Amino acid sequence: MAKHRLEGPASGPLRRHRCRERSASAPLPAETAADEVRGGQEPEADTSADTGSERLGQNILWNYLSGFTSIFGLLLLYPLAVSIVGAPSYGLWVLAIGAIQMLTMTDFGLGSGIVRTLTGIAEGPGASYERRRFVTAAILVFVLLGAGLTIVYLLAFPLYLAAVDVPDQDQHAVMPMTALAGCTLFVSMVGRGLNSVLWGLNRPDIERKAAVVSIILRALGYGAVLLTGSGLIGIVVVECFSLMLPPFVCLWAVWRRFRAPVLDRRLWVDHGAPLLRLSSVMSIGSLALLGVYQLPLFLVGPTLGLAAATAFGALMRVYQSCRLIVSWITMPYGYPLRVAEGEQASRVLKSCQTLTLGIGMLMGAALLSIPTELMTAWMGEDFAFAAMGLATLTIGLIAEAINQPASMVMTLRGSALRASLINLAILVLTLPAVWLATSTGDIEWVILGTVAPSLLLSAAQVMGANRDLPYRIQGQDLRRWAVMLAGALAYVAFAVLVARLLPSWPTILVVGAGLALMAVRMMRTVRADGQIVAEAAEQAARDEDPSRAEGPSPDEGSDQATPTRSR
């Protein structure tokens, strides 16, 4: 296995010190000169990843801030938009934006392929130039994908609307709404590619910060629509602008690091075609998961009726939000898991697993202990019948906590095909399980059929990941996880007691506050893992430059090279 290096960028005083140091020296280093000759332009900008010890914690923090801002912001803004233009008019836009979300829900495995390839480019004289070539090819692939999906959307959506009873007062808005939605689809697809590049540079926080700003601007835009009376078109413009802001921020961030695209005759052969081959394997699992979370709804509707379908859709929205929260921890570990080696990589993997198990148990404790209070407070008394279904989602949350780190290890370090086939197996088990569960007429059995296959195949996920990166589980790890489980069960008992003593909303607030405190306590692990990545970077730099082992200067260390492996 060939060993490579990933150089991490300096930041703060260290970056400024190095800039002065480079400007003071007359000759360019050999590798910079080589890049300059190959690019035919000025010396390359820093295209390496950020390996600072605080980066992991910052990435997770911004994931949480933007995620909760998006979830709660959209929940609050949704009824406001309905009150501004009315339910029928906003429903027309919901159809349009829903189609976009379906098309952008998956990147067909291209995002993981970009991260895997970008982090595996070996350091050397032409590394910066080669990264620019790869990023150019990757963005071109997303541009072509976005253009194709946009054309399909612009042709198909008007045909679909022909079967919908559009209110007369909104007929004039159909064409501009469709055009704006098409532009949003194209920009969003390209934005997914740009964001994947930033993930490969260990900077996902850039897009997350932009997402927070976009939600705030959407709220301000609604106020402007109220003042101007611009109606449905105003709402569409505001929402399209807020959706397109993060992609444009990602474009600026990628431009700052890579500058103009590099186009040559071998670009597609060297980078475009290999990316598609790698991603074609990952797309199997990506599309399979999309089917797991979307197709059961179409089985529930015709068998259990619209009321059950509405309840099932609400429960799946909770499940998707909880899955997203688990991914806020898992995804920032992608870069450390890609670049760390040996026992350090196993330590990072076990830390990631501990955090996902912890957050999964915390959310499961809430759903298991006060499902009726949560369901009626959110959807009303009419949906109390779905409370047991909400509690059943706990099984799925534990499965997600186990599976997400394992799947990411296989995707980034080992056999992406193995991960995809496991996800396909989950889909194959889920659809007949849901179909059989609908015959019972109980929503909780349908939910069980939806989430149980993921838990049943968790062992396969872990064994597959263990082949690519050994967990090296020790007795202390098992004891830690057992204590976490015991604590979660104790908290369930506490929450049930509180629910008997207090009304619904005070109960929800008390339980939520306790879970938040426990989650903050878990973040100590994140700081330790960030230091592991920085130490790996410094050790790799010493391995490649033995003279540094005698005593590195204070200005060198955590921003140096980090080892990874090419697979």
Distance from C-alpha of 492 to C-alpha of 209, rounded to nearest angstrom: 34
Instruction: Give the pLDDT score at 4.
Output: 38
Instruction: Give the pLDDT score at 519.
Output: 62
Average pLDDT over residues 421-432: 92
For 503, other C-beta atoms within 10 Å of its C-beta total 10
pLDDT tens, position by position, 239-276: 999 999 999 999 999 998 888 888 888 888 888 788 88
pLDDT at 427 over 80: yes
- Per-residue confidence band for 420, with pLDDT thresholds at 50, 70 and 90: confident
Percent of the chain with pLDDT over 90: 17
pTM score, whole prediction = 0.64
Q: What does R_g of the chain's alpha carbons equal in angstroms?
A: 25
Local structure of residue 4 (DSSP, 8 states): E
pLDDT at 329 over 70: yes
**DSSP strands (E only) in 350-454:** none
503 versus 6: which is more confidently predicted?
503
Instruction: Give the pLDDT score at 123.
Output: 66
Instruction: Give the pLDDT score at 527.
Output: 57
Instruction: Give the pLDDT score at 532.
Output: 60
Phi, psi of 565 (to 5 degrees): -125, 145
Distance from C-alpha of 440 to C-alpha of 298, rounded to nearest angstrom: 17
pLDDT at 180 over 90: yes
Average pLDDT over residues 374-397: 83
- The tokens describing 351, both together, are 């830390």
Beta-bridge mates of residue 563: 5
Instruction: Give the pLDDT score at 289.
Output: 80
Instruction: Give the pLDDT score at 26.
Output: 39
Non-local (6+) Cβ contacts of 202 within 8 A are 49, 50, 51, 55, 59, 335
Tokens 């090279």 belong to 561
pLDDT tens, position by position, 8-60: 333 333 333 344 444 444 344 334 444 444 444 444 556 655 555 566 667 67
Measured in whole angstroms, how far is the alpha carbon of residue 426 from the centre of its chain? 20
pLDDT tens, position by position, 186-217: 999 999 889 888 888 878 788 888 888 998 99
Average pLDDT over residues 421-428: 91
CA distances from 152 to 149, 162, 243, 557 (A): 5, 16, 20, 51
Instruction: Name the residue ranges covered by the structural domains of the chain.
Output: 50-263, 283-539
Residue 375's nearest CA partner among 421, 333, 314 is: 314
- The tokens describing 211, both together, are 């997402």
Instruction: Give the pLDDT score at 73.
Output: 67
353 versus 74: which is more confidently predicted?
353
- The tokens describing 241, both together, are 């602008």
Beta-bridge mates of residue 4: 564
Question: Helices marked H in 119-173 — which ranges?
Answer: 127-161
189 versus 383: which is more confidently predicted?
189
273 versus 561: which is more confidently predicted?
273
Average pLDDT score over the chain: 76
HSE (side-chain half, CA atoms, 13 Å) at 513 = 7
44 versus 353: which is more confidently predicted?
353
pLDDT at 479 over 50: yes
Instruction: Give the pLDDT score at 220.
Output: 92
**Of the ranges 64-68, 116-120, 252-256, which is most confident?**
252-256
pLDDT at 230 over 70: yes
